[in-house]
Amino acid sequence: MRVPVILKILAVIMVLFTITAGLLVDVPRLEILNETIRNLFFHVTSWFGMVFLFLASFVYSIKYLSTGKEKDDILAKVFVQVGMTFGYAGLVTGMLWAKFTWGAFWVPDPKLNGAAIALLAYLAYSILRNSLSDPITRAKVSGVYNIFAFVMMLIFVFILPRMTSSLHPGNGGNPAFSSYDLNNTMRMVFYPAVIGWVLLGLWISEVKFRLELYKKSHE
């Protein structure tokens, strides 16, 4: 897997733009939310990045199980590792946001629990990989678990929170960011932010992937 140079340049520009514009643009003044609304550019995009990378990992696991190429297994692993980093970032930014708007770092909320459980499932994936020593068995078994975990994560993060009431914006009758009269200035930062973080994730994955290949060839 190689990420084209043009996309890497785009990633740098968009992430730099997100950080500067995200902290400087004029945002709607809303009660309680105040300046924390800027978290949209960092928190929401982290989760987008995580889901995108886990999706990539899911696709490469399916590819591995159908073709049996070692490269696909390494890619599946790398995408999970980078996706986890995005997940941690999403968790930390979300907790900080919750402290200033809901008054606590953690509340018993379906959306939050879903996110935590998704991370637990992928941590279990890493433990599983490390407890198998034979490379082919490891690739097959962890591929199977990855596919199972991804499907369950989709159910947990996207279906279950919609069934019960949730404090989280976008659930249980709470307005999502898009309905906080998300004005055009915010939109202009949000969309590049999503693209920028996702591209950055792909780039990091590529570097990790090449490092893994290098390690393999020098074993």
DSSP collapsed to 3 states, the chain: CCCCHHHHHHHHHHHHHHHHHHHHCCCCCCCCCHHHHHHHHCHHHHHHHHHHHHHHHHHHHHHHHHHCCHHHHHHHHHHHHHHHHHHHHHHHHHHHHHHHHCCCCCCCCHHHHHHHHHHHHHHHHHHHHHHCCCHHHHHHHHHHHHHHHHHHHHHHHHHHHHCCCCCCCCCCCCCCHHHCCCCHHHHHHHHHHHHHHHHHHHHHHHHHHHHHHHHHHCC
- Residue 23 binding other proteins, by CB under 8 A: no
Please report how close the Cβ of residue 61 comes to other proteins at its closest, in angstroms.
10
Q: Which of 30, 163, 188, 211 binds other proteins (CB under 8 A)?
A: 163
Q: Residue 134 CB, nearest distance to other proteins (Å)?
A: 9
Residue 167 binds other proteins (CB under 8 A): no
Interface with other proteins, residue 145, by CB under 8 A: yes
- Each residue 59-88 as x (binds other proteins by CB under 8 A) or -, in order, gives ------x-----------------------
Single residue of 12, 59, 132, 182 touching other proteins by CB under 8 A: 132
Residues that bind other proteins in the complex, under the rule CB under 8 A? 65, 110, 113, 117-118, 120-121, 123-124, 127-128, 131-132, 137, 140-141, 143-145, 147-149, 151-152, 155-156, 159-160, 163-164
